[in-house]
Amino acid sequence: MSKIIVRGGKRLSGTVRVSGAKNAVLPILAATLLAKDGESVIHDVPYLDDVITLQQVLSALGGKLTYDNETMRISAEHLVSFEAPYEWVRKMRASFLVMGPLLARLGCARISLPGGCAIGTRPIDQHLKGFEAMGAEIVLGQGYIEARTEGKLRGAKIYLDVASVGATENIMMAAALADGTTTIENAAKEPEIVDLANYLNAMGAKVRGAGTGIIRIEGVESLSGVAHTVIPDRVEAGTYMIAAAMTGGDVHIEGAIGDHLAPVISKLQEMGVSITETDSGIRVAAAKKLKSVDVKTLPYPGFPTDMQSQMMALLMVSEGTSIVTETVFENRFMHVEEFQKMNAHIKVDGRTAIVSGGTKLTGAKVTATDLRAGAALVCAALCADGESEISGLHHVDRGYVNITGKLASLGAEVYRKEDDTETAQPSYVKVLEGVAAVLEEAEPAIVAARTQEPAKREKELPRMKTAQPTWA
Ligand SMILES: CC(=O)N[C@H]1[C@@H](OP(=O)(O)OP(=O)(O)OC[C@H]2O[C@@H](n3ccc(=O)[nH]c3=O)[C@H](O)[C@@H]2O)O[C@H](CO)[C@@H](O)[C@@H]1O
Ligand SMILES: C=C(OP(=O)(O)O)C(=O)O
């Protein structure tokens, strides 16, 4: 089992560069499937397990991809499949984001049901409601969702019951090639939605209002691949802001965008952290003693749920008692038990956690229960007495590029200890093996599809052997 080892007590200082945003790059990579011609060239693509997973999904669908030096080139001219199987969707729920583009481009999509995950049940009813309103027929069976439409999707007025980030993105992508205009009401407003809209518009789409609660998408005939640079990762930036604050440090976070981090900045300032926006990022300087604050997670522009556990880590060592309320996901306090192993004093009651601050944390062996929990445990370990070992790194690798290297460059005593049996098998190798197995099964169908004319191929897609149609 790989571990991050941290010896606490070092004050962080210096500059750290933020990578491209995981939550922006995933929908943008999915959107490259909409380009019938031209190459998509996506810059600042972070080297993350989630990106590698999506890369494999896109390849299996027929995309031609190269990935070098944070630039991914994708040509999606000839798609050969419309299915994202369980192997990938299980690894990463965001694989479900290929449904909108596949439905728009090919008129059909078959995706494994993403199911729940550690932080909550995470239904996809709002995605499906949007596709149905646009004329798609949805069938659920054998753990898969199939969506199909006769002819093109039709523009529709869709009111989202919850301002879901993924549903807004999926519907936006589907609507980009629909007949007529689609209006999404109660749309999510996250910066990643705006980045996706900018990318779609550069491809030739007509998306207006992204970043507000009402998004209008006028469908166009076709979209082409273009170059795009992904926005910096606000959650990664926020995590380094917390790490700096926890150690009483002084860190410049290069690439961080103040506007995207407004609720985090505001809470840190309330606590007594000094935040300065510079020409190229955000500087965070903290005194040793910080005041406690209450935090409630909300959809953007509220305090992000993806920063809740890191913020809780900081509150554990601040002076006073804080109330943390999680309103976005129903089960996102699993890190509390791990924090308690480090001597934290926290009581959980439903969606509320009461954090008694001012604790001297002690190093411990702890496990990341989800992606951000892993980062939060690393933050806590940075100011704990003695050594901590954080395992469960497959979560952390989904969303942080070289977290140990970046923290070490700021002066932290931290390193990653690979399990001998794992060093030869980084997680993306396992993904590749899974892909190879599925491709092997699908090979005859894919070869057959490749010999057809592109237009015919798009109408009569082969089904992979692993996918049993529920229509026939
Ligand atoms: C890849 C990506 O961008 N992931 C982010 C995205 O996830 P994701 O897009 O999955 O999150 P959503 O915004 O969809 O979920 C928000 C809430 O809506 C609920 N819901 C969602 C869809 C639906 O059809 N029905 C429904 O009830 C969810 O269960 C959750 O309680 O936004 C979350 C909320 O900011 C972040 O924590 C994730 O990091
Ligand atoms: C919950 C997260 O991501 P995902 O939606 O990909 O699980 C996250 O980034 O914290």
Going by the DSSP 8-state scheme, the letter that residue 8 receives in this structure is -
Whether 441 and 370 share a structural domain? no
Query: Residue 304's pLDDT is what?
Result: 98
Asked if the structure places residue 272 within a domain, the reply is yes
Whether 372 and 389 share a structural domain? yes
Owner of token pair 């510079």: 278
- Residue whose CB lies within 8 A of the most ligand 2 atoms, among 49, 370, 397, 400, for a mutation test: 370
Contact, 55 vs 264, CB < 8 A? Answer: no
pLDDT tens digit at each of 472 positions of the chain: 899 999 999 999 999 999 999 999 999 999 999 999 999 999 999 999 999 999 999 999 999 999 999 999 999 999 999 999 888 888 899 999 999 999 999 999 999 988 667 898 899 999 999 999 999 999 998 899 999 999 999 999 999 999 999 999 999 999 999 999 999 999 999 999 999 999 999 999 999 999 999 999 999 999 999 999 999 999 999 999 999 999 999 999 999 999 999 999 999 999 999 999 999 999 999 987 899 999 999 999 999 999 999 999 999 999 999 999 999 999 999 999 999 999 999 999 999 999 999 999 999 999 999 999 999 999 999 999 999 999 999 999 999 999 999 999 999 999 999 986 544 333 333 444 444 444 444 444 433 433 333 333 333 333 332 232 222 2
CA distances (Å), 359 to each of 246, 267, 383, 467, in order?
12, 20, 11, 53
Ligand 1: does its nearest atom lie under 6 Å from the Cβ of 302?
Answer: no
> Which residue CA neighbors atom 16 of ligand 1 most closely?
164
How far is residue 436 CA from its own chain's centroid? 25
For the chain, the straight-line distance linking the first and the last C-alpha, in angstroms and rounded, comes to 45
**For residues 77 and 206, what is the distance between their CA atoms, to the nearest angstrom?**
21
Output the CA 450–ligand 2 centroid distance in Å: 35
Asked if the structure places residue 117 within a domain, the reply is yes
Using CA atoms of 140, 142, 147, 149 in order, give the dihedral in degrees to the nearest 10: -100
Whether 202 and 297 share a structural domain? no
Asked if the structure places residue 471 within a domain, the reply is no
Whether 162 and 294 share a structural domain? no
- Residue whose CB lies within 8 A of the most ligand 1 atoms, among 99, 127, 159, 164, for a mutation test: 164
Contact, 196 vs 171, CB < 8 A? Answer: no
Strand, helix or coil for residue 86? helix
Asked if the structure places residue 468 within a domain, the reply is no
Helices (H) and strands (E) in the chain, counts: 17, 26
Beta bridge partners of 285: 250, 274
Owner of token pair 């990463």: 92
Asked if the structure places residue 467 within a domain, the reply is no
**For residues 311 and 126, what is the distance between their CA atoms, to the nearest angstrom?**
29
Q: Indicate which residues carry an active-site annotation.
A: 117
Query: Residue 420's pLDDT is what?
Result: 60
**For residues 207 and 282, what is the distance between their CA atoms, to the nearest angstrom?**
30
Angle (CA) 73 459 135, round 5°: 95
Whether 159 and 184 share a structural domain? yes
Asked if the structure places residue 198 within a domain, the reply is yes
Structural domain count of the chain: 2
Return the CATH number at 115.
3.65.10.10
Asked if the structure places residue 153 within a domain, the reply is yes
Whether 226 and 298 share a structural domain? no
> Which residue CA neighbors atom 7 of ligand 2 most closely?
93
- Residue whose CB lies within 8 A of the most ligand 2 atoms, among 372, 394, 401, for a mutation test: 372
Residue ranges making up the domain that contains 436: 22-231+428-459
Whether 224 and 267 share a structural domain? no
CA distances (Å), 434 to each of 33, 88, 116, 416, 437, in order?
21, 8, 21, 26, 5
Whether 281 and 296 share a structural domain? yes
Whether 177 and 202 share a structural domain? yes
Contact, 114 vs 98, CB < 8 A? Answer: no
Contact, 71 vs 42, CB < 8 A? Answer: yes
Residue 17 assigned ligand-binding role = no
Residue 306 assigned ligand-binding role = yes
Whether 226 and 236 share a structural domain? no
Output the CA 152–ligand 2 centroid distance in Å: 31
Give per-residue pLDDT as tens, 48-71.
999 999 999 999 999 999 999 999
Query: Residue 287's pLDDT is what?
Result: 86
Across all residues in the chain, what is the average pLDDT? 90
Asked if the structure places residue 469 within a domain, the reply is no
Contact, 57 vs 438, CB < 8 A? Answer: no
Residue 332 assigned ligand-binding role = no
Bridge-based pairing state of the strands 387-391 and 365-367? parallel
Ligand 1: does its nearest atom lie under 6 Å from the Cβ of 301?
Answer: no
Contact, 408 vs 414, CB < 8 A? Answer: yes
Ligand 1: does its nearest atom lie under 6 Å from the Cβ of 122?
Answer: yes
Nearest bound ligand to the CA of residue 97: 1
Contact, 112 vs 144, CB < 8 A? Answer: yes
Predicted complex ipTM = 0.99
Query: Residue 116's pLDDT is what?
Result: 67
Nearest alpha carbon to residue 239 among 87, 372, 435? 372
Whether 162 and 247 share a structural domain? no
Contact, 4 vs 364, CB < 8 A? Answer: no
Phi, then psi, of 358 in degrees rounded to 5: 75, 20
Bridge-based pairing state of the strands 64-68 and 250-254? unpaired
Whether 58 and 144 share a structural domain? yes
